[in-house]
Amino acid sequence: MMGASALLVQATTVAAKAYAPYSHFQVGCALLTAQGNLFTGCNVENASYGLTICAERNTIFHAVAEEGPGMKIAELAVVALGLEFPPCGGCRQVIAEFAGPETPIWFLRDGKPVSMTMAELLPASFRL
């Protein structure tokens, strides 16, 4: 494991690169895969809001593009500059596709790192 601090630093760094002219929410994500690779991504907004991509999905899709469909998330961190919140519901479902129920998901609450398992964040994820 890489650890919360290192992942949160990576997520914070990439959040500053977000394209967020509409919401002004600059969000960054960093994940470590089971293979030990680090991937980062930020949110990229679009004037047609439905075409916006969240930082978490951007990061996960990049990891899949590099490692292939068997990519598994070992741990993930998300940071919104100036704000504190966990991944949105849609991103939770995408994370669940590539994470196990015990995978730690890191975010900030009251300025401190908080970890919740994927099962805690999305206890009834959709599965086929």
Helix %, strand %, coil % of the chain (to 5): 35, 30, 40
Q: How distant is the alpha carbon of residue 28 from its chain centre?
A: 7
Which of 45, 56, 84, 97 is labelled catalytic? 56
Give catalytic status of residue 56 as yes or no: yes
Is the separation of the CB atoms in 27 and 79 below 8 Å? yes
CA 32 – CA 73 distance, rounded (Å)? 6
Residues composing the chain: 128
Query: Active-site residue numbers?
Result: 56
